[in-house]
Chain A
Amino acid sequence: MITIAGAGLAGLACAYELAQRGAVVTVYERSGAPGAGSVARFAGGMLAPWCERESAEEEVITLGSRSVGWWAKITPVHRHGTLVVAPARDRAELTRFARRTSGHRGVDGAEIVALEPALARRFAQGLFFEQEAHLDPRRALRDLTEKVQKLGVEIRFGTPAPARITLDCTGMAAPLPGLRPVRGEMAILHCPEVEICRTLRLLHPRMPLYLVPRGDGHFMIGGTMIESSSDRAITLRSLSELLSAAFALHPGFAEASVVETGAGLRPAFPDNLPRLVEQDGTLFLNGLYRHGFLLAPAMAQQAADHLLPETSDEDHRERQTA
Chain B
Amino acid sequence: MRVYGTEITSRLLLGTAQYPSPAVLAEAVKSSGTEIITVSLRRETADGSGTAFWQELQKTGCRILPNTAGCHSAQEAVTTARMARELFDTPWIKLEVIGHSDTLQPDVFGLVEAARVLSGEGFQVFPYTTDDLVVGEKLLEAGCEVLMPWGAPIGSGQGLRNPDALRAMRAHFPGVQMIVDAGIGRPSDAAQAMELGMDAVLLNTAVAKAGDPAGMARAMALAVEAGRAGFAADPMERRDMAVPSTPVLGMAEFS
Binding site for B on A (CB under 8 A): 55-57, 96, 99-100, 179-181, 183, 205, 226-230, 268, 270-272
Contact = CB atoms under 8 A, between A and B. Distances in A.
B20 A272 contact: yes
B134 interface: no
24 contacts: A57-B21, A96-B209, A100-B211, A180-B22, A180-B53, A205-B155, A226-B44, A226-B45, A227-B45, A227-B50, A227-B53, A228-B44, A228-B50, A228-B53, A230-B45, A230-B47, A230-B49, A270-B21, A270-B23, A270-B26, A271-B21, A271-B22, A271-B24, A272-B21
B44 A270 contact: no
Contacts of B21: 57, 268, 270-272
Contacts of A271: 21-24
A226 B42 CA distance: 11
Given A99-B211, A227-B44, A55 B52 contact: no
Given A227-B50, A230-B45, A230-B49, A270 B56 contact: yes
Interface string B35-61: 000000001110101111100100000
A119 B44 CA distance: 34
Contacts of A96: 209
Chain A to chain B: the 4 pairs with minimum beta-carbon distance, closest first:
A180-B52, A227-B53, A271-B23, A230-B49
Contacts of B50: 227-229
Given A100-B211, A227-B44, A228-B45, A56 B53 contact: no
Contacts, number: 49
Nearest to B53: A227
Contacts of B24: 271
Contacts of B26: 270
A57, A99, A227: residue with the most chain B Cβ atoms closer than 10 Å: A227
Nearest to B42: A237
Contacts of A183: 49
Contacts of B56: 180, 270
B58 to A, nearest CB: 13
Contacts of B43: 226
A61 to B, nearest CB: 14
Contacts of A229: 49-52
Interface in B1-44: 20-24, 26, 43-44
